[in-house]
Amino acid sequence: MSIKYFDADGRCVASFTKNDVYKDSRKYFQLDKNRIKNIQLNENFDNIKKFLCPDLSINFNQFKNGIEQLKEGLKKNEDFNNLLNNTSIPFILPKSNDEDVGSNIAKNYLPALEKSFKNSFPKYDFKNHCKNNLSNKIKIWENSRYEKITEKIKTDEVVGLIFPCLNEFSFPAAIETLKNLPENFILAGGYEIISALVGCPSLLKKDKGYPPLLWLSSLHNSEDNNICYHLEPYGYNLTFNRRAHLNKAAEYWWHSIAIIV
Amino acid sequence: MNHQEQVVLLSEQNLTPDEKKKREGLSKKYPHVAKKLANISKMEDKGEISPIIRIEKSYLCNFKCTHCSAEYYMDRHLEKVLKTKEDRAQMTLEDIKNISKQADELGLARFVITGGEPLVMRDFDAVVEAIDPNKHYVISDTNGWFLDDKRAKHIKSIGVSKVQLSLDSFIEKEHDSFRNKPHSYKKVMRAVDAALNADLNLILSTVLVAGRAKTKGFEDMCKFATDRNIGLYVSYAKPVGSATNHPEWVITKEDADIVRELEKKYKVFTHMTPSYGSFKGCITVKGIITITSTNEVTPCPYIDFSLGNLRQTPLKEVLARGMRNPWLGPHRPDCLIGEDPSFIKLHQEKTKGITHLPLPYGQGFSDEDKLF
């Protein structure tokens, strides 16, 4: 196995960037890998179909085969197979002609996440702290490659995996690092992160120690690119919010890569 | 900005109705302070910070509490236990005026007078005047012993807007035992009425030790505070000061999560609870600093490492040192000194055997700091 791009834990190496990044991680904020590992693919599929994609045309076997093929492809590539040592979470994106990412997130994705989270954790809450309308408020980071996803969902349902492997990277560091990774590696944005959480609403649950905050890495506020959006637990609850990132890295701030089938 | 413009600005912020009402009231009496407070979320968006400044001018105290974080700073500890004396230069009223001026220039807006027990300070009124209530929102900590109707009305009249009253248990015996002071519970209850009668904003503060969040006594206290429309501030026990030798008091994530859940039902909050549209997480430097009686600035009340001495270094540079420190600057959801085992260990190792706290800048924190 090569550690040219990803270390033994599947974290992207920090050597491709001069921007703010933690060169090494003390692994203080972590996802609950065991909890996530025990989630069956059919649970992901059922949740996404029920709450986000009621008109889904692909079936479970097609979804499963796609995910397996994607993992198999990574496994065969010595430069990138360490990525499989990281947590990966499947997602499905419904077809959509909505050109405005903010409006699509607000109208479709966040309500789906709220329903899925409430269904799994009826005693707890999903809270959207962004009181202002998101329509026309969100733009895609240049060089995030996110247009590949926004273009593809115009015609197809999209299946893929997210890898929260840019942990403790700043936005500029994540974008700069992506330039060194294969063209099919995309900086994960709102759609995939939220879909992955719809499928796996316990993704940010952790009993001992704290899980990380997940940025919607490919997106920023249209008026101020210092303001970005994220999902974050608050106790047993899940929240959507915005905050200033100041081009800084933090142990608690994680970015993700999406790879689509 | 006139009062009406401030009301409009408040309506644009992510405030609860209760928060909005308080801010509107403040803007009538102290418009400059209200304007600065209303600006905090804009400052945060630009990466600027607005910490509350805790002033520890004196550590004199009529209590000797089991969990006191300031005990090791007190003359009685230095003299009776460590057989030494405080020989460092002490904070004066001129120092406070200077801090108030620097803070105002940086857009900071809140001061807490703490200690020790502030209400035993002979120069308490002069300290309030030096802070200047027209420039800053003035809060006082107190154990409540001396807060009767007359004193409450007086401190309100000189510009104190809020008091933070310590209550360790809703069970009288438990509170008195924790505080090592018979009848202190009754005095707290009297002080609650006195503060409310004087129209002071009031919060109760209580210490959370491991396991307490699950107890009926704790929930009863939450209910009491809520029923009286008083906020209950929950401070995690930290293994510092008198509590240094009580690692068993350090809370677990479950304890913290239970309190986060209780926030939904009761007027209860911790230092990390989102408020006034601000989601800071751990508030070291970003949301709080403490200035000790020797003008040393620590990043929170419980971390005994200085970021600089204000007689030598301007407040602006001291805050910048804090924000570029890898333990203190980055956003994090947990309490650094109350929950992070690596930092707790580092803090205990560096402060062990030190008689005069906090450790000066360069000996505790420095620009060379790394997480591991």
Bridge partners of A257? A163, A187
Task: Give B117-153 pLDDT, tens digit per residue.
Answer: 999 999 999 999 999 999 999 999 999 999 999 999 9
Predicted-complex ipTM score: 0.94
Taking an 8 Å cut-off on Cβ atoms, the answer to whether A243 and B253 are in contact is no
Q: B265 and B249, same structural domain?
A: yes
Task: Give A114-171 pLDDT, tens digit per residue.
Answer: 999 999 999 999 999 998 889 999 999 999 999 999 999 999 999 999 999 999 999 9
- Look at residue B216 and tell me if it is in a domain: yes
Torsion of CA B349, B350, B356, B360, to 10 degrees: -170
Residue A62 has pLDDT above 70, yes or no: yes
Contacts of B47 in chain A (CB under 8 A): 226, 244, 246
Instruction: Tally A–B CB contacts below 8 A.
Output: 67
**What span, in angstroms and rounded, lies between the C-alpha atoms of A172 and B299?**
28
Tell me what percent of the residues of chain A surpass a pLDDT of 70: 100
Q: B161 and B12, same structural domain?
A: no
Q: Are B142 and B165 in contact (CB under 8 A)?
A: yes
Q: Is the dihedral of CA A124, A129, A132, A136 positive or negative?
A: negative
Q: What range does the domain containing B19 cover?
A: 3-38
- Look at residue B371 and tell me if it is in a domain: no
**What span, in angstroms and rounded, lies between the C-alpha atoms of A58 and A45?**
10
Q: B93 and B22, same structural domain?
A: no
Q: B121 and B14, same structural domain?
A: no
Taking an 8 Å cut-off on Cβ atoms, the answer to whether A232 and B333 are in contact is yes
Taking an 8 Å cut-off on Cβ atoms, the answer to whether B372 and A26 are in contact is yes
Q: B125 and B29, same structural domain?
A: no
Provide the pairing of β-strand B137-142 with A237-244: unpaired
Q: B141 and B63, same structural domain?
A: yes
Q: B331 and B275, same structural domain?
A: yes
Q: B193 and B220, same structural domain?
A: yes
User: Scanning every residue of chain B, which has its alpha carbon at the shortest distance from the alpha carbon of A24?
Assistant: B372
In angstroms, the separation between the Cα of residue A236 and the nearest Cα of chain B is 7
Side chain identity at residue A20, one-letter code: D
Instruction: Report the residue from B252, B261, B371 with minimal CB separation from A236.
Output: B261
Taking an 8 Å cut-off on Cβ atoms, the answer to whether A253 and B257 are in contact is no
Q: B99 and B30, same structural domain?
A: no
Q: In residues, how long is chain A?
A: 261
Give pLDDT < 50 ranges for chain B. Answer: 3, 7-11
Can you read off the two tokens belonging to residue B363?
Answer: 């000996």
Q: B118 and B24, same structural domain?
A: no
Q: B15 and B89, same structural domain?
A: no
- Look at residue B245 and tell me if it is in a domain: yes
Residue listed under structure tokens 């997602």: A91
Q: B144 and B246, same structural domain?
A: yes
| CATH code at position B202 | 3.20.20.70
Taking an 8 Å cut-off on Cβ atoms, the answer to whether B253 and A210 are in contact is yes
Taking an 8 Å cut-off on Cβ atoms, the answer to whether B332 and A252 are in contact is yes
Of B247, B219, B244, B245, nearest to B234 by C-alpha is B219
- Look at residue B372 and tell me if it is in a domain: no
Instruction: Report the residue from B253, B257, B331 with minimal CB separation from A250.
Output: B331
User: Is B320 in the A-facing interface, judged by CB distances under 8 Å?
Assistant: no
Taking an 8 Å cut-off on Cβ atoms, the answer to whether A235 and B342 are in contact is no
**What span, in angstroms and rounded, lies between the C-alpha atoms of B181 and A52?**
59
Q: How far is CA B216 from CA A191, B169, B253, B347, in A?
A: 43, 11, 19, 33
3-class DSSP state of A221: strand
3-class DSSP state of A36: helix
State the Cα angle at A249 between A90 and B336, rounded to 5°: 100
**What span, in angstroms and rounded, lies between the C-alpha atoms of B354 and B271?**
28
HEC states along chain B? CCHHHHHHHHHHCCCCHHHHHHHHHHHHHCHHHHHHHHCHHHHHHCCCCCCEEEECCCCCCCCCCCCCCCHHHCHHHHHHHCCCCCCCCCCCHHHHHHHHHHHHHCCCCEEEECCCCHHHCCCHHHHHHHHCCCCCEEEEEECCCCCCHHHHHHHHHCCEEEEEEECCCCCHHHHHHHHCCCCHHHHHHHHHHHHHHCCCEEEEEEEECCCHHHCHHHHHHHHHHHHCCCEEEEEECCCCHHHCCCHHHCCCHHHHHHHHHHHHHCCEEECCCCECCECCECCECCCEEEECCCCEEECCCCCCECCCECCCCCHHHHHHHHHHCCCCCCCECCCHHHHCHHHHHHHHHHHCCCCCCCECCCCCCCCCCCCC
User: Scanning every residue of chain A, which has its alpha carbon at the shortest distance from the alpha carbon of B258?
Assistant: A235
User: Scanning every residue of chain A, which has its alpha carbon at the shortest distance from the alpha carbon of B324?
Assistant: A248
Task: Give A160-215 pLDDT, tens digit per residue.
Answer: 999 999 999 999 999 999 999 999 999 998 999 999 999 999 999 999 999 999 99
Query: B interface mutation test: which of A24, A27, A28 has the most B CBs within 10 A?
Result: A28
Tell me how many domains chain B contains. Answer: 2
- Look at residue B281 and tell me if it is in a domain: yes
**What span, in angstroms and rounded, lies between the C-alpha atoms of A121 and A144?**
33
Taking an 8 Å cut-off on Cβ atoms, the answer to whether A252 and B281 are in contact is yes
- Look at residue B187 and tell me if it is in a domain: yes
Contacts of B372 in chain A (CB under 8 A): 24, 26
Q: What's phi and psi for A132, nearest 5 deg?
A: -75, 150
Taking an 8 Å cut-off on Cβ atoms, the answer to whether B253 and A207 are in contact is yes
In angstroms, the separation between the Cα of residue B276 and the nearest Cα of chain A is 12
Contacts of B281 in chain A (CB under 8 A): 252
**What span, in angstroms and rounded, lies between the C-alpha atoms of A75 and A57?**
28
**What span, in angstroms and rounded, lies between the C-alpha atoms of A139 and B60?**
56
3-class DSSP state of A27: coil
User: Scanning every residue of chain B, which has its alpha carbon at the shortest distance from the alpha carbon of A29?
Assistant: B332
Q: In residues, how long is chain B?
A: 372
- Look at residue B370 and tell me if it is in a domain: no
Contacts of A187 (CB under 8 A, 6+ apart): A141, A144, A145, A146, A174, A175, A178, A217, A218, A255, A256, A257, A258
- Look at residue B369 and tell me if it is in a domain: no
pLDDT of residue A42: 96
Q: Which helix (H) or strand (E) holds A110?
A: helix A110-120
User: Is B281 in the A-facing interface, judged by CB distances under 8 Å?
Assistant: yes
Q: What is the pTM of this model?
A: 0.93
